[in-house]
Structure 1
Amino acid sequence: MTTVLITGANRGIGLELVRQYTAEGAQVIACCRDPAKADALKELVASSDGRVRILQLDVADETSIASLKDVLGDEPIDILINNAGIGSGGLAASSIEPNNWMTATRVNALAPMLIAQTLRDNLKRSTEKKLVAISSATGSIANNRGGGYAYRASKAALNSGMRGLSRDWYDDGVIVGMFDPGWVATDMTAGQPAYISVEESAHGLICQIAELTPATSGIFQDYRGVRIRW
């Protein structure tokens, strides 16, 4: 049975990934900051025949990441999906704010690297060995049109880090994928026009993750499999 660990699993794309992977028969480890308030996740646990577990994880807290490893021990993880992330508002070049920038970078770029590093052996012990980061097309330097500077920079940093791991961990058999989920209707995009549903995005992501191979490790693409310029 495939084991999938998903961060930021209490809402939006993360929650839908839990729902769809569970429907496919996977064993899902759903991580979020406050399990006590994750009512939708609890409903999935109740209907999953024991295939969904909720574990506490604050991705911005190194102690929390270490505690997650303590709970998991040497359990193999086939697919590790770094989904947790935050927006930073529509910051313009005239309103760069240091704390905002550093928080976005810590959560969106550094946390996935620390989680990958901490759970590397769990990935290596598995059959699929897939490390996935939910990125954003706005992290493409080639397509950068300005605005949202902190968010764009954090996603570009995420892509750079994951691209590096795809090379450094190649001999371990770890396959790395970076995906733009599309402009999805979630809490993060509330009040803005969104083009696709969370169900469509999650389905596309799962299909593309299934198609990842050593030959495509380190590729930046969207939920449809369309490659994105760096």
Structure 2
Amino acid sequence: MAELKYRRILLKLGGEALAGEGGFGINPRRAEEVAQKVIRVLNMGVQVAIVIGGGNLWRGKEDGLDHGMERVTADHMGMLATVMNALALQDALERHGIPTRVMTGIEVRAVAEPYIQRRAVRHLEKGRVVIFGAGTGNPYFTTDTAASLRAMEIDAEVLIKATKVDAVYDSDPKLNANARRFERLTYIDALNMRVGVMDSTAMAMCMDNDLPICVVDLWQEGSLEQVVAGEAVGTLISA
């Protein structure tokens, strides 16, 4: 077993990680692929908590706000979308025998536990994967902010932002062949550059509480294992 740098992690996924064709809906095969990646990290002896977005099912701005919907209503719909994704990922994990709990910031007791910090920590200590749905339970906060908050509440040692880009760049590498790739950034640099990998509220929370953020490509083979082993992969944002 590899030497571990991080033994408790918060994995932040976008809803697109589970998306079907065109970036919409839930594709069970994609859920299965994500589950396999989580299981490999879990088998290294790492405690894993997950926050997943809901953009594959509902995009508040495009689907709601741009058409006159009230912001609070749009945000609550987005929270419910993340619960659906959390349940899909839970199902994929449990089909492999991995005990998993979904905990939500708004009460949907028929399908998930309400979020209680001590209970979440206890689940992790027992080797269960914990998936946090419904964001913070409050409108006007993104799932990035929810990830930062939950990571600090459970004393995670790192927040892994797993995307479809292999690192942070100073511009879109798909549009600019000369885009500069960063292996390390300070929180201040990331905030000043508006790098776009996390919103400023989430970034500031991590900075204030000295929680490192590692930005990696979820689909790059072994990227999550490399992070927890302390190997150089993606971009590390820290003090």
TM class by shorter-chain length?
Answer: 0.3 to 0.5
Higher strand share: 2
TM-score, normalised via structure 2 length:
0.42
Between the two structures, name the one with larger relative contact order (CA 8 Å, sep ≥ 6).
2
TM-score, normalised via structure 1 length:
0.44
